[in-house]
Chain A
């Protein structure tokens, strides 16, 4: 075989290799992006669970906690705000407010011993605690996935392929309400 033939074969080989590399990177980007979407769907499921639980909760505690009418109204309002939010940032903001209020309600319950003896309420409280946990764990898992995806997008050589096919950065789901991160204060006065 002539040297030209060999050179052509080598070039052809390199091109085939490159094509396979591009396909591989493209596929892994797609997989990662799907995992981000999947994780977001998980958060949505849990947020919806919380929205469904709230009316039930208020119905149960209303009879015991007559003085907390304002809290209930605020929670109902925050719930409908959260349900109407659409973008990731808006949701983060609205759900953050709701989380903070739920935390305050949990603290307020401490003042009603007869409520804590109610079996119905205890079961509901377990569901609520679990839902709050699930929301924060699904957020944690979503942010992990976003981190993986964004990292992959930014490093060489996958950044070239990401640029070629217009892969957009994904947004972290941050809780906006600072109060939620703080420790709820309980006063015994």
Chain B
């Protein structure tokens, strides 16, 4: 089945699934209330702060090659190794080599969208390497054999009861567990994994050029454990994660956590500048930072779309989007769902398979309104529609319909003619319609507005 057809089928199923709808509305309503409250509680002027953040991010992109080189030399000076991966395949082979080099049998991971992007779990499991997803939401979708539903809250689509059932089946917990008991089950299940894994793989929320640092934010502590316990720490980071200065963090950290979860700041904000230092008691002996391109440098050269690389992956546009709220995260079948996913996926993957996502938008602009770095998301969606059309991907039928429509609407007399034509033929056409449709389609009025207007003028 084509990507488009399965998108249409899945969307329809989800849109009509009332239980699904209830769960999502509950989650986004609670998100909305917290986020709106925190924006006004913490920020003097949210509009101004996101303006500044957008400008800093854009200025960073304007100098991205320089910052990447600065980051590389600074973090390497502290003993980390930087590896540049042009695509998913290259990133996976780097990880394969690291695994072979350190004789890894078991991996503990913290939540990272870049590792989703390169399908790392599937790749490692094929080689009989055991992978422990340690973020609670990620663990839930891993155990369920699913992909993350949302870039920030991966298990947003699962009710407590469903998770209790899943944990009962996979982890032998009480089928009537509360949220707290389920969390404690996950804690106990993973406790050992941190200590016995030979490698911890994490993502990055920011890369800092001037200090050569990786910044990671989280609430659970699984990220910290993943880079404190195993002897090897691997970071997989998109090249666009850059910020120029450590001193940009006091704005960007609250901005990200407020947009992401409505928190003033998240529980843990970690700054990592390398593997264990000589004088230090513990920490990984080796650290690798894989800088992932995977289509980003192509997007970067596109004048219209470069701004999409400002994204800090807060997930706000997903939560705000009426389409995401209706069809849910899995229907997109992409690593990045919602408006930002529909903007970048056709470019990071291919336009022919994912161009249709831009049509899944009402162009209401809710995504643009909430973006903390002011990406003009809904205009980019419109631009993607135009790109699909230019690439001849709209289909002959649709093109033909539009051509006829344009031809008719461009002339008053043709439009009047069409109107008359419908009036004359509607009796016959209606007879051919199935009854259910006939009841829905209204009859053309006896006289058009134009005709009525003319009569009045006389």
Q: Do A and B bind each other?
A: no
Chain B residues in contact with chain A, CB under 8 A? none
